[in-house]
A and B are shown apart, each in its own frame.
Chain A
Amino acid sequence: MPVNELEREQDVNKPGSSPPVIAPGYDFGQITEKISNVVLTKRTPWSWVLGFFIAFTMLNVLMGAVTYLFLKGTGIWGINIPVGWGFAIINFVWWIGIGHAGTLISAILLLFNQSWRTSINRFAEAMTLFAVACAAMFPLVHTGRPWLAAYWLLPYPNSMGLWPQFRSPLIWDVFAVSTYGTVSLIFWYTGLIPDLATLRDKAKNAFAKFFYGMASMGWRGSARHWHRYETAYLLLAGLSTPLVLSVHTVVSWDFAVSVIPGWHTTLFPPYFVAGAIYSGFAMVITLAIPIRAAYNMKDFITDRHLNNMAKVMLATGLIVGYGYMTEAFYGFYSANRYEAYMIHNRAFGPYAVTYWFLILCNIITPQLLWFKKVRTHTLGLFIISLIVNIGMWLERFVIVVTSLHRDYVPSSWGMYHPTVWDWATYLGTIGLFCTLLFLFIRVLPMIAIFEMRMLLPESKVKE
């Protein structure tokens, strides 16, 4: 769907069309100043200090929760038999899903020539990295013995002749997520290099000069540098594209290859991927709206960006809704009493509240996004994006808990109640995420400076 700059420019002149991706009246220098000043200023805004303090406090909650976990073991959590997978997997899937929007924005939208990705790709990619870091916490700590994670998950030749079960998606997940993390990091860093060089050249402080100088790897902006850069960036985009699908597909297989009703369903891979992008875009919106307000970036992250992201959210939300409807239909069509009971139990069982809240958050509320007024109403959109974030968390809760707590034999049914330590770990990863994000905003350019410069009409080269 290549809507390129030409169309954008035409849009501007048309009644009832979207605003541009960059407000008029900027030149190269002003763009550079505006973005790099956020980083190079000596004054740290009080709102940053306050936000960082809160985030860092939450991060310390994570440290406390994990320390106690390592001391006591997973008994401090609410997991039991039959619900052996509780918050750890719910939060893992939620965080990994959030990361997907960053990759989609940076890779797929680049390949589709979508110019509106430019101002949001940098922090969306950073969001991906931090979300992957939060997600990775859970496989590491979920046994209560992190030193065993490497021992059980990574295949290495050993004298016992023991290997992980290669037919298990859990082991595929180790590779999928670590590949995803690595490629995302390289992609993000490659995109940063020209901007790091800009910061190096503009920095006054000796330490900053040294830091950005090292990080920019000797970038001088020669034609050859740019040529190699463009090639590398395009190739990395190509490499990242399959990862948007593969990571959450493997996550969905973690569930679907089992024979638990509610997990074993062939729709899971596309349904999980759509859900991941859905929650990811919700998170990008949740972050973009306060950031652009705090740093006065409305000229760069325009209403058009919010409008487009809201559209993607609506589309993926509808696919998720299709998934719920399909599950309900096949609960009947399968003519399988366990499948039918699973759907009934979700809607009317002991966890019915979570199911109906999930429908409200994920299916009903986002229908407001059909209206352009809502999509361009900043506060309304912010609230909807928060609701979708909650809804997608509830979705994972419903999938994990309601499927496990009552499967085939009623004598083995049980209930799951998360403990305060479950909540503390979850809250703590939110702290980790926000802390990293605050640091990122303070020390790195949150918007790609040189890509913004390329959006200006002055940079159009006549062939």
Chain B
Amino acid sequence: MSGFLENMSVGLQVAFTVTNLLYCFIGVFIGTLIGVLPGIGPVGTISILMPLTFGISPTSAIIMLAGIYYGAQYGGSTTSILVNIPGEATSVVTCLDGYQMARQGRAGPALGISAFGSFIAGTIGAIILMFVATPLSSFGLKFGPPEYFSLIILALSILSYLAHGSMVKAIIMAILGICLSQIGIDVVTGRLRFTFGIIDLQDGLGLVPVVVGLFGVGEVLANLEESTNVEILKAKIKGLLPNLRDWKDSIGAIFRGSILGFFLGVLPGGGAIISTFVSYALEKKISKHPEKFGTGVIEGVAGPETANNAASSGAFIPLFTLGLPSNAITALLLGALMIHGVAPGPFFIRKHPDIFWGTIMSMYIGNVMLLILNLPLIGLWVKILKVPYKVLFPLLLLLCIIGSYSINNNKFDVFIMLIFGVIGYLFRKYEYELAPFVISFVLGPILENSLRQSLLISQGDISIFFRKPISMSCLIMALFLLLSPIVLAKSRRLRKKLG
């Protein structure tokens, strides 16, 4: 216990420096801003801003980037409630009851409960993260190359299984990410792979230009094709503090959403998105008046809004304990840490207690800042919502260009960004999910190293993946997930035939 308190005090010392407080504020402010603005998400923002963090310490960088991540969950609810357009995918469910509440003149309590709920969830999430991460990282020490290989395969399988659209398309995206991560020098033999004589490709495709292109430029191009007119409720927002009745109705939903969201957030894939749907379904199921859901009940806002915030804390578990990202954002954070020369994994908490505990403590502080930003400053966010997209997109593109160029001061990176911008646009158009691509692109080199090391250890015996219990369990689960849709489809067809 004394070690735990000692670590907490280290974290507090790190988080409470003027520099880190400033970066935390910048992170949560930008997070709220992009959460409010439809058309740019946290993945695009983090990838655009990542090169700008190279000059600062890794702790400050992660504090800021993490702030953008959980800050966006706060901001996303504002557009859902006031405009009926979710700022983030995780706020889709909030539209159902949040917008109805706003139409009934209860936008204030809806915004208030989502901010308070997010604060409670963020704090609970940070507390669980603090207690769970250390024992889990000890468990992570049992992971050797075969276990890592199988775990990555399992993570990619879960990601594909939980895909919103076609599972086959998601698998293709994951494989494509691995293929593109192979470009450049092979670290073992020193041979160039798929560089086609282009010197700039010798170091491989840069994470930042690829992700900025896919999420930044691709999203801008897709939005320019759509012509959506944003209509904001004109009624004055009043009574942001929920009354006693509101609290009584939503406190249970807040605590259930926090726990549910945290543990679903650990899952690879859309943990945060799924948690909002599950939380909404759960609240509806246990409600005394399920028929009122969708007409503006406060539990329908409180549950999902807390779940998405808690899930953003849960997503840090696999990143900090195993070095494996569970979604595109944590994949970017992993990339940022690796660029800073910090490798997350089982030894991460022991080797870099300042980064781990500093980041967790900054989450508490960040959640307090977000509460202040989201309640008294709601008028500011409403005003920002009114800025037309055609004025915003040139600025977003400028940030994309600067972000890509400033990594190596190389025009080639901007060119790569542009190519991936077009690819990202086409992927959106043809409904291919980008998250499996980004995660496998980041994990590709780790996957290859694990595979090669495993085969070297076993002297070419591939049964090594089935002899180790953890590895075998992961592969069996992966196989089950990949085959389950086929089995389900077959059994459905059989049932239909039998009448």
Real binding pair: no
